[in-house]
Amino acid sequence: MLALRPNCECCDRDLRPDSAEARICTYECTFCADCVESVFAGVCPNCGGNFVARPIRPAEKLLKSPASTQRVLRAAPCGSRAA
């Protein structure tokens, strides 16, 4: 099950569970649409994969399976790629 992380790993923008602006890669690295497009040109800086829009879990399902509250930020500068 997706964690639905609460923020962009680059700019730390809040991404609510129902956000249409959240993007994820196959490892569930989570970024906002602005950073995916303007900073990373659609390529995940952590794994090199592509991004897709994060699915939105229906509100009634969030009651049983809530979104994560753990914020994740990249250790590397926002505009850099992992080695």
For the cut 90, the answer to whether the pLDDT of residue 83 exceeds it is no
In this prediction, residue 78 carries a pLDDT of 83
| Reported pTM | 0.90
Which domains occur in the chain, in start order? 1-63 (3.30.40)
Confidence of residue 82 (pLDDT cuts 50, 70, 90): low
- d(Cα 67, Cα 11) in Å, to the nearest integer? 19
CA atoms within 13 A on the CB side of 1: 9
Could you read off the pLDDT of 24-67 as tens digits, one per residue? 999 999 999 999 999 999 999 999 999 999 999 999 999 999 99
Long-range (24+ apart) CB contacts under 8 A made by 11-15 are 11/35, 11/78, 12/71, 12/73, 15/54
Query: What is the b/e burial string over 16-45, where b = at least 16 CB atoms within 10 angstroms of the residue's CB?
Result: ebebebbbbbeeebbbbbebbeebbeeebb
Q: Give the pLDDT of residue 47.
A: 94
Placement of tokens 């923008």 in the chain:
13
